[in-house]
Structure 1
Amino acid sequence: MVRERDCDPLISPEKLSDFLLQSKKASSALKIAERCHAGKFRYSGESYIEHPKEVARIIYEEWGIHSEDLICSAFLHDVVEDAKITLDQITNLFGTNVSFIVDGVSQFEAQDITHDKPLDLDKEKEYKKQIDKETLRKIFSWHYVNETVGILKLADRLHNSRTLNSVPAEKRKPKAQETLNAYVPLAEALGMWMVKRELEDLSYEHIDSKEYRDMETSIKGDSRLNEQTMAYISSTIARLLNESLVDAKVSVRINSSYATIQKIRDAVLSGKPNFRISDINDLVNYRITVKSKLECYKVLGILNDFFGKKEKNMDFSRFDEFIADPPTNNYQALQMTINSVGGAVEIAVATEDMEDFNNWGVVSLIRKGEKKLDDYKLKLVFSEDGKVRYLPRNATVIDWLYTVNPQEAASIDSVVIDDKVKLLSYVIPNASLVTVVIPHEERIAPDPILLNYCLPQTKKIIERQMDELADSKLIDLGKKNLRKILQDRGILYLEDLVESGKLKGTTTSTLKNIYRLMGLDQSENEVISWLNDKGITKDKMNVSTIEVEGKDQPHILSALTFLIQSNILLIKHIKNGGSFKLRLLIERLNENEINDLYNKLKSDPRFVNILTC
């Protein structure tokens, strides 16, 4: 048996080839892999041994992990699958740690749809049987995904994704979709964001090549990527920091195509149909790394003085304090936005250690020699759509729901796990299949008691939702209180004046603040003064409002508009089950006209709860 040896990263050579000259154990693993894979070829035509060699190189040179056992495992990760050597033999030759990692990676192979080398027909059929979701669940039901196993499998998948063009065309899209469904979430769970971004782009290129190419073209054509613009901003930041004697590095990062596509898609789904690439402030991101946390705040002050006070092009509404209050993924940086030529760009400031963790997660901790990595031992949880998510061992149902969709999670009361209904505080067993029980109603926030039964990152989101719920209730109360005042002015809601164009220059944010003041029930005079200043009176606005309810039926809107002998400025038609509510803002009617309309509506059985003002 070759003795296990911990390699000191301070003295390890930079190149894997040089490391192999020092490590008899690793060079021995490579020789065995060469013998096991002799005569095997990849789809590209190259010898199969080039794959494990490249996986080992990625781990050692690109990711900077100089673990002798991990490099041995990289060389050997496919030898058991090829039935050339047993796990017991690997244990005898290289120790229990190497055999454990190889075994873990081999089990992952059960979910791979295609392989990176040709198989005969019988083996192809066998692999199709193995990829069944139930098979993978059984494999992982008795142990968690070890972080080292996850790292090796990601290196394996990264190389296969980089060489996906050599795989037969019919296998590329399934393989790419598999990467998005299973391996991108794994990279995210391990905090390996650099790997996550590369896997996303390499995969999506094969899933929707047109959308991917179109986005690449849009990004390349964005004026914020103009070389002159980037050179000016980078050198300006460097000059400011040099003049203030701050030792810093300035780099530029361009957001990936897939991440940009997802940002636009998420914005549209959240109610921003006109959201475009020009609205994304971190398409171009200027990264500043310094030595200490104190220097981060010093840099913030320097940039604020120049871009905020002198140039006046800093957008203070888009500032993020992620050092004192990091988000759920423990990302740390100070982020600010400036409006440059062509649009908004982001500037982020972090220490070197923060930035390394921001990009590499568990890999960063391993490089630093961290031994306590229990938070990165993960369980797998499957959803009905076949996607797998990786969660900490103590994660509950509510944690899983918030990784799937934070907005929908707030409305869900229970799920089905392996055919049994479970509450949200239930700790999900490893390799479970979870099905959501469709909720009866939508909610902004879940039951507050769940704050006691979730992970810290989930707790942050729920607390934010509870703040939103409290604010929503305050705004609703304000609308109710203000409605009595607005009725005398010919309207029921301020939004109707904004949407109809009668109240220009007033934002949604301003209206919410007015409602909040009324909700507090202490500022009625202040709000009335604001209404008068804006000219929101019946005489000046020259409007009237009609609101009716009833049982929903065909042509109900036409029936109502037929009775109105006035120019309609705005129509609000709300359907709820089998009922409706209609609100119309119209040009002002005199008192006799209002009364006449009210009587007509009252005599029509289709309309109830009639209100005119």
Structure 2
Amino acid sequence: MAVLQKTNLDNKHTHPRGIENLVKQIQTYYPSADLDIINKAYTLAKRAHTGQYRKDGSPFMSHPLCVASILAELKLDLYTIVTGLLHDVVEDTSVSLDIIKEQFNDTVAFLVDGVSKVSQINFKNTQKKDSENMRKMIVAMACDVRVILVKIADRLHNMRTLVHLPPEKRLKVAQETLDIYAPLASRLGIHSIKVELEDLAFQHSDSEAYYSLMKQIDSEKKDMEKYIAEVIHILEKEITTQMNMKVKVTGRPKNVYSIYQKMITQNMDYNEVYDILAFRVCVNKVEECYKILGLIHSLWKPIPGRFKDYIAIPKQNNYQSLHTTVLGEKGKRIEIQIRTHEMHILAERGIAAHWKYKTESWKNKTTLDNETLKQFNWLQDLVSLHRQNTHSGEFLESVKVD
């Protein structure tokens, strides 16, 4: 048995070695947090996982630490982060749910139990089986969405380290990720995680296509970077000169899986995909979005049928932004998204960005407010579909629709 460093849980400024970075993450958005519960969860998890190792040879405890870190990046509540640290102890160690309840509380025990039950779902690559498993995930999410947020964070870290598994296992996990976890992340509006899950799953599910496409994208990297800088300079200059607004303009190639999907669905080669570059303009007020849209359309010719107003009519996952595709500099097609800074936070963090931190919530139970639950009413719609015994294919599609 490894000797655990003694932890002084009475001093909230003293943290066990190994969680310093996690503590710093939490303090960036909750500086007054009582972190004793984090220390306690880390100490219990480390003791429980002593002697266990991951496929890459690293101590198993590195995994729950990384899961907790992903949850902290989403700025979630302490109980969710504690669940990230403890999510494997009931399933993989001698620690019982009763011990979790005794040492923490009913909420943490409920969340850990929920994640354990979701982890036991036996995924198989058939539409009927996928539909049944997705139903179970939706029911778990309806009970407390934090269960699925922890599971998505768990899957993201496993995907980041998937290379250490045998090829057959990698393929199975990657396909599950494309079929189940990426659509769930999308439905929850967590774009940053959805994109990373898709690209990692693509890399392992069809490595030949992935590396072939990456090679083509990399061959144009310098030209892309130069073009992106040029477009950003033009936009910033024109917006500042004509509108005197403070904006943030960024540009990037679209994620590799979305490019691949376009090639497949539209039966085209990479060099036939024109709108590979996407730009984003973030502003302070909603009315500024429409003003900048007009300016952009005066600079570059818009492509007919490629304008979408997700501000007036948000997506089901609450995503808001203006999308337009124009013939930019040198006649290249580029997509430009225009949104407020608040909309951008919601687009990246989704439902996690709505979490309400109230003093009593940190001590007892952290919940989403009623307004947010109404905004995510698609979840209740999916539960209703589940109860109606909807056909497998229809149910899966209803989950995957953006």
* Same fold, TM-score > 0.5, yes or no: yes
Correspondence for 1:255: 254
Q: Given residue 41 of structure 1, which amino acid in structure 2 is its aligned partner? A: Y
Correspondence for 2:391: 434
Correspondence for 2:6: none
Correspondence for 1:523: none
Correspondence for 1:27: 39
Correspondence for 1:36: 48
Distance in 1, Cα, partners of 2:139 & 2:185: 22
1:438-494 Cα offsets, whole Å, 9 max, x none, are: xxxxxxxxxxxxxxxxx9x99xx9xxxxxxxxxxxxxxxxxxxxxxxxxxxxxxxxx
Correspondence for 1:491: none
Distance in 1, Cα, partners of 2:344 & 2:41: 34
Correspondence for 1:179: 177
Report the CA distance shift for 1:430/1:86 in structure 2 as closer, same or farther (over 3 A): farther
Report the CA distance shift for 1:356/1:199 in structure 2 as closer, same or farther (over 3 A): same
Report the CA distance shift for 1:278/1:346 in structure 2 as closer, same or farther (over 3 A): farther
Structure with more contact order per residue of length (Cα contacts < 8 Å, sep ≥ 6): 2
Q: Secondary structure at the match of 1:253?
A: strand
Equivalent of 2:162 in 158, 161, 164: 164
Q: Given residue 121 of structure 2, which amino acid in structure 1 is its aligned partner? A: Q
Report the CA distance shift for 1:224/1:237 in structure 2 as closer, same or farther (over 3 A): farther
Q: Secondary structure at the match of 2:249?
A: strand
Aligned residues: 357
Q: Given residue 249 of structure 2, which amino acid in structure 1 is its aligned partner? A: V
How far the C-alpha of 1:371 sits from its partner, in A, is 2.3
User: Would the aligned equivalents of 1:222 and 1:342 in 2 still touch at CA under 8 Å?
Assistant: no
Distance in 2, Cα, partners of 1:142 & 1:364: 22
Distance in 2, Cα, partners of 1:266 & 1:365: 34
User: Would the aligned equivalents of 1:337 and 1:345 in 2 still touch at CA under 8 Å?
Assistant: yes
Return 5+ residue gaps in structure 1 as ranges: 4-13, 115-131, 269-274, 308-312, 379-390, 397-426, 438-454, 462-613
Equivalent of 1:356 in 324, 341, 345: 345
How far the C-alpha of 1:319 sits from its partner, in A, is 2.5
Please tell me whether residue 290 in structure 1 is matched to residue 289 in structure 2: no
How far the C-alpha of 1:44 sits from its partner, in A, is 0.5
The structure in which a higher percent of residues are helix is: 2
Please tell me whether residue 324 in structure 1 is matched to residue 312 in structure 2: yes
Report the CA distance shift for 1:279/1:366 in structure 2 as closer, same or farther (over 3 A): farther
Please tell me whether residue 17 in structure 1 is matched to residue 23 in structure 2: yes
Report the CA distance shift for 1:100/1:199 in structure 2 as closer, same or farther (over 3 A): same
Q: Secondary structure at the match of 2:90?
A: coil
Correspondence for 1:45: 57
1:508-563 Cα offsets, whole Å, 9 max, x none, are: xxxxxxxxxxxxxxxxxxxxxxxxxxxxxxxxxxxxxxxxxxxxxxxxxxxxxxxx
Report the CA distance shift for 1:225/1:364 in structure 2 as closer, same or farther (over 3 A): farther
1:35-77 Cα offsets, whole Å, 9 max, x none, are: 11000000010000110011111111x3232x11111111100
Distance in 1, Cα, partners of 2:369 & 2:317: 20
Distance in 1, Cα, partners of 2:313 & 2:331: 31
Report the CA distance shift for 1:139/1:278 in structure 2 as closer, same or farther (over 3 A): closer
User: Would the aligned equivalents of 1:223 and 1:342 in 2 still touch at CA under 8 Å?
Assistant: no
How far the C-alpha of 1:436 sits from its partner, in A, is 6.2
Q: Secondary structure at the match of 2:266?
A: helix
Q: Given residue 333 of structure 2, which amino acid in structure 1 is its aligned partner? A: A
Report the CA distance shift for 1:203/1:342 in structure 2 as closer, same or farther (over 3 A): farther
Q: Which aligned pairs between 1:235-250 and structure 2 lie closer than 5 A?
A: 235-243=233-241, 244-250=243-249
Q: Given residue 43 of structure 1, which amino acid in structure 2 is its aligned partner? A: K
Q: Secondary structure at the match of 1:111?
A: coil
Q: Secondary structure at the match of 1:226?
A: helix
Distance in 2, Cα, partners of 1:346 & 1:140: 34
Greater mean alpha carbon deviation, residues 427-436 or residues 334-343: 427-436
How far the C-alpha of 1:28 sits from its partner, in A, is 0.3
Distance in 1, Cα, partners of 2:130 & 2:182: 18
Distance in 2, Cα, partners of 1:328 & 1:134: 20
Distance in 2, Cα, partners of 1:229 & 1:183: 34
User: Would the aligned equivalents of 1:224 and 1:341 in 2 still touch at CA under 8 Å?
Assistant: no
> Percent identity among equivalent residues?
29
Equivalent of 1:100 in 110, 117, 138: 110
Please tell me whether residue 347 in structure 1 is matched to residue 340 in structure 2: no
Correspondence for 1:336: 324
